[in-house]
Amino acid sequence: LSDCLACDSCMTSEEGARVFQQNQREFFRILNLNKKCDTSKHKVLAVSICPQSLPYFAAKFNLSVNDAAKRLCGFLKSLGVHYVFDTTIAADFSILESQREFVQRYQRRNQEEHALPMFASACPG
């Protein structure tokens, strides 16, 4: 989240409030609470890993990208995280959706004044 520009163009204010709640302090607070209570009262912790971060970890620790992903997932689960998700498929869907929109806009360029240009951005979050 520290890399987010907080431009608010990719989320509503309600989503922004939820994202704001997802910070390191809150993460460790929930981990500590989960350690103190029985499992039936645990809050579920899910972490998403963007594909751009894995090569960094791989290079830093001299690992393959697959090994870095496995170790990072194992580390997070050892902390008490319940689920670890890879956001690669979400990035793929985002690219496909942008492609679809561009094709539609390109086909309408002669009928609609504002069909082009199209500005797009894909946030890894």
pLDDT the model gives residue 38: 80
**Could you tell me the pTM of the whole model?**
0.62
In DSSP notation, 24-89 reads HHHHHHHHHHHHHS-GGGPPP-EEEE-TTHHHHHHHHTT--HHHHHHHHHHHHHHHT-SEEEE-HH
- Where exactly are the structural domains of the chain? 13-86
As averages over each run of 10 residues, the pLDDT of the chain (125 residues) reads 55 62 81 85 86 88 94 94 87 86 89 82 59
CB 35 within 8 A of CB 46: no
Give the pLDDT of residue 25.
Answer: 84
pLDDT of residue 40: 79
The predicted structure's pLDDT at residue 70: 94
At residue 1, the pLDDT reads 47
pLDDT confidence of residue 123: 60
